[in-house]
Structure 1
Amino acid sequence: MSSIITEVSLREKIAYGCGDLSSNLMWGMTSSYLMFYYTDIYGLPVVAVGWILLTARIFDAFCDPAIGYFIDRRGGHVVSRLIRSLAIPFGLFGCLCFVAMPLSPQGKIAWATLTYIVFGAIYSCINTPYGALGTMMTRSAQDRVDLNAFRMMGCQSGQFIVSLLTIPAITWLGGGSGMPQRQHGMAIYALVLAVTATVLWRYVGRICVTRYPPLPARHPPAVLLRALAWNRSWWICNALVFLQFVGLATLYGFALYYARVVLGGRAELGSILLTVATIMGFGGALVCPHGVRHLGVVGTAMTCLCVQVMAYALLFLAGGSTPFFLAAFSMLTLAQGIGSPLYYVLLAHAIDRGRLMSSANTAGMAYSINTLVTKVSMGVTGFLLASFLSYGHYMGGADTVSIGLKHWVTAGFVWLPLGSSALQLVFLALWPRGITPLPETA
């Protein structure tokens, strides 16, 4: 038995992290600010916003499996080329999502729907190969933990930039706080982020090396889906990721509303919350590999989820007390930061075990469906949150806040993700015993 040489350099790990940094400069903008942009800057009705978010995810149901099947058919060598080719379209349509076209009310809804759907499709086609890339770069269990830790640090760095700069940037770039000025400022800001994201994706495709690319698979889709259907751990991963993104979507999509409605602050307070979340999440990603060494992947994940459940309960008990709220919020986001890389590690383990069960190469399809699950989760959660705002009769820019609206915003920000965290503990308890990282020897 000879040890597998660790071939993933620090430069490659940083480059791999740049992929999620790029994603979260644009996709993070849509997660954290798109609903706020639609309701408070572009002036779309809340009900229409909910349907836009849901419709885009239904369309993605066709894009994710298609790109996964394409990767499996062409083989792993196509991954880096896909990332480089889609870098410019990713930035372009991410920017267009935040360009306020001067149209009729129905035209605005159509424009918002079209740009978000196209951006989501391009995101599917670039993020699925990016997700599969990690398993093709190394077979070392520790390297995979490190790669996904860098990935989460890139994710949190992107969120940090978006959270810290967005609100002040759109006011400064637009030259005022009125709706036309904010629309102009948002468009310029989105353009800057889009250019940066494009450059970063090109860097990922050029630096990261696919040392273990799967060979082209000629199996029909039915064979690939049948192989996945028998992979119990892959099903558990999808359930965990769906519930994880319920929590992330509520945190990043509803923080601005919670800050304004429940905490009684302005949009700037919501920006501070998002900044705190990204700082703690970044710190959590740094701590994650150390936690795995002591508790293992599943043990670390379960510990983080228990902390999250307690933190959500403390958020509710905090009420309108901002200091108490910030303490509980910091605890919550630190636990999320530690746990986030582990979902991808578990998925990699599930795919590796699937290779032992079937000769069919299902890596592309497995990652594409998993990516689809994350976006369906975000779409369903976004629809629910928009519905909560509608039930509470939310009006963008209104000075008065009703008790009913506070209850609905609390339900969306606290109770919905608390339930998703508790359910994740149930699914982790079902994780097959003996499913551990593959050995680092061959």
Structure 2
Amino acid sequence: MENVNTAVEPFGMKDKLGYMFGDFGNDFTFILSSSFMLKFYTDVMGVPAAVVGLLMMAARFVDAVTDVTMGQIVDRSRPTNDGKFKPWIKRMCGPVAISSFLIYQSAFADMSYGFRIVWMAITYILWGSIFYTSINIPYGSMASAISADPKHRAELSTWRTIGATLAGLVIGVGTPAAAYVVVNGNTVLSGPRMTIIAGAFSILAIVCYLLCFRLVRERIPVEANNQKLEVGKLLKSLVTNRALLGIIAAAVLLLLGMLGMQGMAGYVFPNYYGSAAAQSASAMAGSIVMLAVCAPLASKLSARFGKKELSVVSCAFGAAMYLLCLLLKPENPYVYVAFYTLAYVGLGFFNTVIWAMITDVIDDAEIKNGVREDGTIYSVYSFARKLGQAFSSGMIGGLLSLIGYTQATAFDPRVTSGIFSLSCIIPAVGLGAVALALLFIYPLNKARVEANVAELARRRGEAGK
């Protein structure tokens, strides 16, 4: 049986751009949530930070069911004329965008406290646990069906990161510039403006998803997995997969660090430094280093040194930059932006190659088990990333409450000093722990990845004879 569908055009720039637009669409809602949902509900809706963080963490128990269920649905679905994975993007782009928009309804700020809590819980779970899951898992799993060439997959990982970076640029730079207003000398978030911004980003997300559907081609046939589902066997396979456990640990810790940076930016710049412009500048600088440094160099450096090896060194560097910032405690917001940017270079290399590392994990599992389970493995990984997002938001919410942050104390010097310390400690600990997890748990170094690729090529060659 042939492994490659020759009826479609060869892999090329259309696929890279299409895959880029997929993550662009994802992050119009994901980055908005990780960067501004906590800020919106504490400062506009009057919900304590700890309550918002608790909701984000509690929703992950729902994800434990919905993510793996969606992975099984994808693995067991039959291919269509558009492929096995692409149809889900077209089906679910509307629901995920609409549910994201509903989260940021400032018109309900004067409703009862109970109503605001219920509205926040329902809309957040609809968006993150159901609709985002139903589009993100098939999108992430699709990389294996676009091309079997490891080089192509690394390029897809890079272009996916470019899409996320562009979304982060639009959200990180545009939102602070448009959403903040000055009231009585303080920089505060405008609820009505956030509602309009969320609606605009939802529309842009749909456009990006449809471009992904239009441009990407699935070339590698992935048949439906018709094996009987044995939950015990599946769980044993997953929990004994050291490569999967290693990348999960690293991904959770990466998100603690990265989303900690992004989430605390919404507090350290307007509250400690009093500068929404510096917050926009930090997002701009982070996006520039991702596009100008990490994206063009990640594939070359990982090809030479290995993805694991590159990621360990770069994340350790990012952690060191934040520790230095904590010690120096710069008074100028743009000096802080410089430390933020250098740390972003560190995490950026790992964040660029991580999607190719997931494909390495899927290959490694196929070597061991003889079964290709892209959807299931990716769903477990996706669930882990959501845990990282939730732990980050929950941790930030809890720590902000611990230092006494409320609407009334938002500009108290004691509280703002605590905000600065948290903005350095959270990413320093997260990125340092990423380096350790990759070094001591994740086993797929450069030599082993190359050996797995050669073995799978041999098996597929024999199957095609």
Taking structure 1 as the reference length, the TM-score comes to 0.91
The amino acid that maps onto 1:436 is: V
Distance in 2 between the 1:226 and 1:183 partners?
A: 47
The amino acid that maps onto 1:291 is: L
| Structure-2 change in CA distance of 1:320 and 1:7 (3 Å) | same
| Structure-2 change in CA distance of 1:168 and 1:212 (3 Å) | same
The amino acid that maps onto 1:330 is: T
Conserved? CA contact 1:98–1:187, under 8 Å: yes
Distance in 1 between the 2:152 and 2:75 partners?
A: 23
Partner of 1:245: 255
Partner of 1:403: 414
In the TM superposition, 1:310-321 aligns within 5 A as 310-321=320-331
Distance in 2 between the 1:344 and 1:139 partners?
A: 14
Deviation at 1:333, TM superposition (A): 0.8
Conserved? CA contact 1:259–1:266, under 8 Å: yes
Choose from 95, 98, 107 the match for 2:101: 95
| Structure-2 change in CA distance of 1:100 and 1:326 (3 Å) | closer
3-state DSSP of counterpart to 1:129: helix
Does 2:237 correspond to 1:227? Answer: yes
Q: How many residues matched?
A: 432
Distance in 1 between the 2:28 and 2:162 partners?
A: 13
Partner of 2:402: 391
Partner of 1:435: 448
Distance in 1 between the 2:372 and 2:288 partners?
A: 38
Choose from 391, 395, 413 the match for 2:423: 413
Does 2:188 correspond to 1:183? Answer: no
Deviation at 1:314, TM superposition (A): 1.9
Conserved? CA contact 1:69–1:221, under 8 Å: no
**1:132-155 Cα deviation digits (max 9, x unpaired):** 111111111111111110000000
In the TM superposition, 1:262-273 aligns within 5 A as 262=272, 264-273=273-282
3-state DSSP of counterpart to 1:213: coil
Conserved? CA contact 1:255–1:274, under 8 Å: no
Choose from 149, 157, 173 the match for 2:166: 157
Distance in 2 between the 1:266 and 1:221 partners?
A: 55
Partner of 2:72: 69
Partner of 2:148: 139
Distance in 2 between the 1:399 and 1:117 partners?
A: 28
| Structure-2 change in CA distance of 1:141 and 1:234 (3 Å) | same
The amino acid that maps onto 1:167 is: P
Choose from 358, 361, 370 the match for 1:350: 361
The amino acid that maps onto 1:348 is: T
3-state DSSP of counterpart to 1:321: coil
| Structure-2 change in CA distance of 1:418 and 1:23 (3 Å) | same
The amino acid that maps onto 1:338 is: F
Partner of 2:205: 197
Runs of 4+ in 1 over 6 A off after TM superposition: none
Does 2:115 correspond to 1:107? Answer: yes
Partner of 1:211: 219
In the TM superposition, 1:272-283 aligns within 5 A as 272-283=281-292
Distance in 2 between the 1:108 and 1:89 partners?
A: 21
3-state DSSP of counterpart to 1:215: coil
Partner of 1:337: 348
Unpaired segments of 5 or more residues in structure 2?
none
Conserved? CA contact 2:362–2:372, under 8 Å: no
Does 2:58 correspond to 1:60? Answer: no
The amino acid that maps onto 2:318 is: Q
Unpaired segments of 5 or more residues in structure 1?
none
Distance in 1 between the 2:59 and 2:422 partners?
A: 21
Deviation at 1:237, TM superposition (A): 1.0
3-state DSSP of counterpart to 1:435: helix
Deviation at 1:171, TM superposition (A): 5.5
Q: Which deviates the most, 382-391 or 185-194?
A: 185-194
Does 2:122 correspond to 1:117? Answer: no
Distance in 2 between the 1:435 and 1:396 partners?
A: 52
Deviation at 1:271, TM superposition (A): 3.0
Q: Percent identity?
A: 20
**1:388-419 Cα deviation digits (max 9, x unpaired):** 11111112375642335523x34532223222
Deviation at 1:248, TM superposition (A): 1.4
Distance in 1 between the 2:410 and 2:240 partners?
A: 54
The amino acid that maps onto 1:160 is: L
